[in-house]
Amino acid sequence: MSSRLLRVTDWEELATNANYEPEQLAALCSISLRQLERFFKLKFEKNPAAWIRDLKCGRAATLISSGYSTKAAALEVGFASASHFCREFKKVYGSSPQTFSPDPATKPKPKSSPKESKA
C-alpha cells in the first residue's frame, strides 16, 4: 500500500476538491485510477465510486435535515438530477431523502393497511 496514500488525512475534502469524480481523485493523488481502486478496497472495503456515493448521500442527508429541499440538496452535492439522487440515496439509506426532512409536510406518509370490508 502506498505510504503517500496512507498520509492522506482528509479523504472527504479531497473528494470535494475532485468534484466527487474518482478519476479526478486519483489525479489529485498522482496515481492511476486502478491504484486508487486497490487502495480503497483495502482501506474502505469498497470502490471509490461507492465510497463517493455514500459520502455525497451523507452530506445530502445533513443538508435535508437542516431544511434543504431534496432537489437543492441533490444539486449541492453534485447529482445531475433529483431522481438519480433519490435512487442512489435509497441504495445507501434504504429510504427516501424526505425521511430526513424536518418539515412534517414533506415526509412521506406511512402506507395504511387495506380496510377490511364488512360482510
Which pLDDT tens digit goes with each residue over 4-62? Answer: 788 888 999 999 999 999 999 999 999 999 999 999 999 999 999 999 999 999 999 99
Kindly state whether residue 113 falls inside one of the protein's structural domains: no
Residue 111's pLDDT band (cuts 50, 70, 90) = low
Helices assigned H by DSSP within 29-97: 33-43, 48-65, 70-76, 82-93
**Mean pLDDT of the chain, nearest integer:** 87
Kindly state whether residue 44 falls inside one of the protein's structural domains: yes
Kindly state whether residue 105 falls inside one of the protein's structural domains: no
| Domain containing residue 11 | 3-98
Kindly state whether residue 21 falls inside one of the protein's structural domains: yes
pTM of the shown model: 0.79
Kindly state whether residue 64 falls inside one of the protein's structural domains: yes
Q: For residue 58, give the CATH number of its domain.
A: 1.10.10.60
Kindly state whether residue 89 falls inside one of the protein's structural domains: yes
Residue 55 Cα distances to 1, 2, 43, 73, 116, angstroms: 23, 23, 15, 13, 44
- Number of domains, the chain: 1
Element (DSSP H or E) covering residue 3: helix 3-6
Kindly state whether residue 12 falls inside one of the protein's structural domains: yes
